Structure 1
Amino acid sequence: MLKSQFVSCLKARQMIAKGCIYHLLWVRDVDSVTPTLQSILIKNEFPKVFPDDLRSIPIEREIDFGIDLLVDKQPISIPPYRMASAELKKLKKQLKDFLDKGCI
């Protein structure tokens, strides 16, 4: 049996940037059922939030979105957070304890 060779979007971009040959596919499940508005739990739990004339889920559409950049502007300079050595030792000990317990 042939193993599928799908890659993530990020990996695909990296491979395309390296010059790999690629094919673009659009797959759509025609048997899938579009959910009704009544089947969405949030709509049922908070009926006063949604307008009464909202009959169905809005159709998918392309949205034109952009961020306008201002000319001659620089990022805000924020100094790095400083910590006293005693405070740093205490934090490292707490982190080690959490790691030993398997919390993180």
Structure 2
Amino acid sequence: QMVNTRTDAELAAAVQNALQTLLPQIHAEIREVEFSIDLIPGAKPISKSPYRMAPIELKDLKDQLQELLERGFIR
């Protein structure tokens, strides 16, 4: 029977090391994509009232949107 002797700290360090090695390569492969939505002439936007969110969910959403704005993924 095989016994894994790695501790949680060692495993976390190994994962962090692997991510630091791989992420720069992945980031270098990301290219800007031209994207557009074709609109139907004369079509009107859907009217839908916003729904409520719990304060913690709203804060998380705002934080995620701010990060996406800062990274340039959304404008």
Using structure 2 for the length normalisation, give the TM-score.
0.29
Q: Which has the higher helix share?
A: 2
The answer to which structure, 1 or 2, has the higher relative contact order (CA under 8 A, 6+ apart) is 1
Look at both structures and tell me which one has the larger radius of gyration over its CA atoms.
1
Using structure 1 for the length normalisation, give the TM-score.
0.24
